[in-house]
A and B are shown apart, each in its own frame.
Chain A
């Protein structure tokens, strides 16, 4: 017993000596530093056109869909009905610097979004989108929210002029047009995505997004001036780094950046399934317009 404890202690001490001297360990592989390429020299496999092969089913493991910023665990909307079901997990901010640089007047809107996130009123076309988190209403989530929702997405990349990103949530899709000049012809829920390669990084410039999408359930939002630049960088056979720079002079004082890893889904039989959530929202949205039973 004594001897065993002694050996464990020596082992730990030995390893820390090696690390502190910067000497690579003799056995096994080095533990990657969180959020870095591993190994630093990682070079992704290539497609026939020489570009990194990003094909696969990917998923974020951050809890940013509840709140991009630091957040504690929180009860669900109706704990008296659902207990711990629908409760939200705690999580750390994925924003560089921790906070979204709102203009002072814009913060009030974020707060009212949150306060009204569970309310819906579609009785008037003009105020159809005024209330409620678009996720609750099963609307296409926009970019970057689609990337960190707790659902997988698939990158379909061949050697043609565009790459398809297919999201499980709401069966949303977006086409990444590579080296495309034409600007967004109109606003859309998933925006207008134009891609290019910078070394091993797929850079996607997203404009033309509808103003109604939100960033998260905390009510973080943007206007129709939103401009997102995403960067997808392969980091190992099993993960890539995702970064997005977010700019919107109507709402924020300066551009800001989020980053987190995307993990490859490794299940042998993995495939994107359907999360067609429209039928889950119909009673909430349209139930009150039904015929009332005769009195």
Chain B
């Protein structure tokens, strides 16, 4: 009797726990069964787009709300779109013309918030913010300080050398490094499947992430790559992806995470015919106080729209323009301190 009572208490507790946990990430409660490939894997194939205006971290002006009502959501979307839009006439002639790298080049989908009306892409921790570390180890602080100086020179239009520019500006890696985060353009990813593999081809920059799902071991630890070494497996209809062996260069990883201690797990779940939930959990005890998780919806692209080649390095005129401009400014006696840093928008 006593045992049975205990068992039922445990059951109730477990049920309560499940109820408490499930709605946390805002997923649809009704389970969708994705189609299968002829060899039996859940079918994720197609061209998907991850653009959204919902910020990674929850902005202060929404308080603690993780999900908005319809009216609040409309207001939130409008204000984000206003800030993000480049088609503006409110900055005076100089500023408005400077926005000439304008909406034409941008992905219009980036002006809409996620369909589930969340206030941040981060779903864990519950405050929707990146759990930054109070004290970063001194050696990491030194590396960061030197990167910050290089970034300041670049922002002031006075880069010493191409090494002052970020890896994306140098066309080495862009949004093809996990975690996949939405950006201003080229937010497309095409998923191909073949027996034993899932392959993700990010539009920017033209690399293929060929993911074995056959249980083979990772590369040896010493063999590192810009995009790491990726292995996947299926958990129900979710593709779970583990990536290791990231290259050690500073700044390769998001938020300057430390490749030596960084781990990432990504989950791809097709939750509707035209939607994949892309969820990633990252951890790095030398960068963040605890692991954190974000959920980004991937929306199927209209079949008439396709992936295009994003060549980058081949016509990277910018690097030469930045450097020759800097040499000219030096000649004119300009220094980093005098020059206003350009805003992210102008860069």
Contacts and interface: CB of A to CB of B under 8 A. Distances in A.
Interface in A259-295: 269, 271-274, 276, 278-279, 281-282, 285-287, 289-291
Given A48-B39, A128-B317, A156-B192, A188 B308 contact: yes
B323 A290 contact: yes
A232 interface: no
Contacts of B313: 138-139, 278, 281
Interface stretch (B105-113, B131-139, B202-210, B260-268): B202-210
A285 B173 CA distance: 18
Contacts of B37: 158-159
Interface string A182-218: 0001101110000000000000000000001000000
B201 A290 contact: no
Interface string A36-71: 000000000001110000010000000000000000
A278 B171 contact: yes
Contact of B309 (A128, A158, A188, A271): A188
Contacts of B192: 156, 158, 160, 162-164
B99 interface: no
Contacts, number: 127
Given A48-B38, A156-B194, A189-B314, A166 B210 contact: yes
Contacts of B309: 140, 174, 188-190
A123 interface: yes
Interface in A88-128: 122-123, 125, 128
B210 A128 contact: no
Contacts of B71: none
Interface string B302-336: 00000111010111010110011011001000000
Nearest to B323: A289
B206 A172 contact: yes
A241 interface: no
B194 A55 contact: yes
Given A166-B199, A172-B206, A278-B172, A123 B45 contact: no
Interface residues of A, number: 49
Interface in B137-192: 160-162, 170-173, 190, 192
Contacts of A175: 190, 201, 307
A239 B138 CA distance: 54
Specify the main secondary structure of chain A where it touches its partner. loop
A282 B190 contact: no
A171 B208 contact: yes
B216 interface: yes
A171 B162 contact: no
A55 B195 contact: yes
A285 to B, nearest CB: 8
A126 to B, nearest CB: 10
B239 interface: no
Interface residues of B, number: 46
A223 interface: no
Contacts of A160: 45, 192-193
B296 interface: no
B324 A289 contact: yes
A173 interface: yes
A289 B160 CA distance: 9
A157 interface: yes
Interface string A128-157: 100000100011100000000000001011
Contact of B38 (A49, A162, A279): A49
Given A160-B45, A278-B172, A272 B190 contact: no
A158 B193 contact: yes
A156 B208 contact: yes
B324 A156 contact: no
Contacts of B199: 156, 164, 166
Contacts of B206: 140, 171-173, 190
Contacts of A274: 225-227
B197 interface: yes
10 contacts: A55-B195, A128-B317, A140-B311, A156-B194, A156-B199, A160-B193, A164-B199, A164-B201, A290-B323, A291-B330
Cβ-closest 4 pairs across A and B:
A48-B38, A289-B323, A166-B208, A188-B309
